[in-house]
């Protein structure tokens, strides 16, 4: 016998899909199926049952193999390594719970370690800008019900957040966006022609020119000419392109 657990929240990305259904064994010890999740979300759940998942500490051997050791041995080895280090670096943390991060920071103070996390190569600059300038924001529910112009800037949700467009930003019918996709126009700002850009009404490629503080942009329909092939006299401010391509709510049509 199996049982299905409804309304499960997926922890993978910021979309936080809360409509997943997870099928588990009768004793609750084995996860069998995941419904409504994207490919990435399903893999995150099912990988917990993977036979090759590392569940015990292992020590790298001189011959290149890995030897399974106890938690006490692992703790002792790590303590000795940190005690002998001149300037250790503690990096990561983004997939670690708050309690473990707290203990890690205490150890870092004792060992005088440097601490850094994955935001250094991801959202670190975003957080600094939020602290210095602020952030105009809204809920995904507001996007679904009200937004008729969607700008994806430097991101590729088709791959990174596969259900973002289907649940909130592009395809769903909202209170004031009753026609779904036909009620919205999507613009992508990205130097790459991504799979998200291929679905957009226009793609804008930023270019930083010598002597200019603000970048200029060249916009093209992704289905047509490569946005990287713009002439200099076609480069404009992003505002000008937004007025040009953002006027008609029907995706794929230029005003």
Span 133-168, pLDDT tens digits: 998 889 999 999 999 999 998 899 999 999 999 999
pLDDT score for 33: 93
> What residues contact 218, with CB distance under 8 A and at least 6 apart?
204, 205, 207, 227, 228, 230, 234, 235, 236
CA distance 201 to 104: 47
Q: CB neighbours (10 Å) of residue 138?
A: 9
Question: Are residues 199 and 240 both part of a single domain?
Answer: yes
Q: How many domains does the chain have?
A: 3
State the pLDDT confidence band at 14, using cuts at 50, 70 and 90: confident
State the pLDDT confidence band at 254, using cuts at 50, 70 and 90: very low
State the pLDDT confidence band at 128, using cuts at 50, 70 and 90: confident
* H/E element, 126: helix 124-132
Measured in degrees and rounded to the nearest 5, phi and psi for residue 137 equal: -145, 175
CATH number, domain with residue 234: 3.40.228
Question: Are residues 27 and 83 both part of a single domain?
Answer: no
Q: Which of 28-32, 103-107, 220-224 has the lowest mean pLDDT?
A: 220-224
Question: Are residues 42 and 66 both part of a single domain?
Answer: no
pLDDT score for 202: 83
Question: Are residues 78 and 24 both part of a single domain?
Answer: no
Residue 232 in this model has a pLDDT that exceeds 60: no
131 located within any domain: no
Mean pLDDT of 175-194: 90
Question: Are residues 111 and 149 both part of a single domain?
Answer: no
Which pairing describes strands 31-35 and 58-60: parallel, antiparallel, or unpaired?
unpaired
Which pairing describes strands 20-25 and 2-8: parallel, antiparallel, or unpaired?
antiparallel
Question: Are residues 42 and 106 both part of a single domain?
Answer: no
Question: Are residues 150 and 181 both part of a single domain?
Answer: yes
Question: Are residues 148 and 178 both part of a single domain?
Answer: yes
CA distance 133 to 154: 20
pLDDT score for 192: 86
CA distance 208 to 215: 5
DSSP state of 215: P
Question: Are residues 144 and 236 both part of a single domain?
Answer: yes
Mean pLDDT of 183-190: 89
Q: Say how many Å lie between the first and final Cα of the chain, rounded.
A: 58
Range 16-39 burial, b when 16+ CB lie within 10 A, else e: ebeebebeeeeeeeebeebebbbe
pLDDT score for 241: 59
In degrees to the nearest 10, what's the CA dihedral of 9, 10, 11, 15?
Answer: -100
Question: Are residues 111 and 151 both part of a single domain?
Answer: no
Domain around 38: 2-49
Q: Which of 16-20, 34-38, 60-64, 117-121 has the lowest mean pLDDT?
A: 117-121
Residue 169 in this model has a pLDDT that exceeds 80: yes
State the pLDDT confidence band at 119, using cuts at 50, 70 and 90: confident
CA distances from 244 to 83, 153, 208, 211 (A): 61, 17, 21, 26
127 located within any domain: no
The full length of the chain comes to: 255
133 vs 95, more confident: 133
CA distance 118 to 86: 23
Q: Which of 30, 49, 68 is the last residue of a domain?
A: 49
């Amino acid at each position: 016998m199996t049982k299905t657990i409804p309304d499960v929240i997926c922890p993978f990305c910021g979309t936080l899909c809360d409509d997943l259904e997870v099928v588990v064994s009768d004793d609750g010890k084995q996860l069998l199926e995941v419904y409504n999740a994207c490919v990435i979300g399903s893999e995150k759940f099912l990988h917990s049952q993977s036979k090759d998942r590392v569940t015990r500490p292992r020590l790298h051997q001189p011959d290149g193999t890995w030897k399974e050791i106890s938690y006490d041995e692992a703790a002792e080895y790590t303590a000795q390594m940190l005690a002998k280090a001149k300037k250790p670096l503690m990096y990561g943390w983004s997939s670690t719970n708050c309690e473990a991060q707290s203990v890690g920071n205490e150890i870092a103070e004792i060992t005088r370690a440097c601490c850094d996390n994955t935001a250094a190569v991801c959202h670190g600059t975003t957080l600094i800008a939020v602290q210095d300038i602020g952030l105009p924001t809204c809920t995904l529910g507001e996007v679904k019900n009200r937004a008729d112009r969607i700008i994806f800037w430097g991101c590729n949700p088709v791959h990174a957040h596969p259900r973002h467009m289907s649940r909130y930003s592009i395809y769903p019918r909202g209170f004031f966006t009753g026609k779904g996709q036909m009620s919205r126009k999507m613009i992508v700002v990205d130097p790459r022609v991504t799979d998200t850009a291929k679905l957009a009404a226009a793609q804008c490629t930023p270019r930083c020119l010598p002597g200019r503080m603000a970048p200029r942009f060249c916009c093209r329909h992704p289905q047509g000419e490569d946005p990287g092939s713009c002439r200099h006299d076609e480069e404009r401010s992003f505002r000008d392109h937004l007025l040009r391509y953002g006027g008609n709510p029907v995706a794929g049509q230029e005003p």
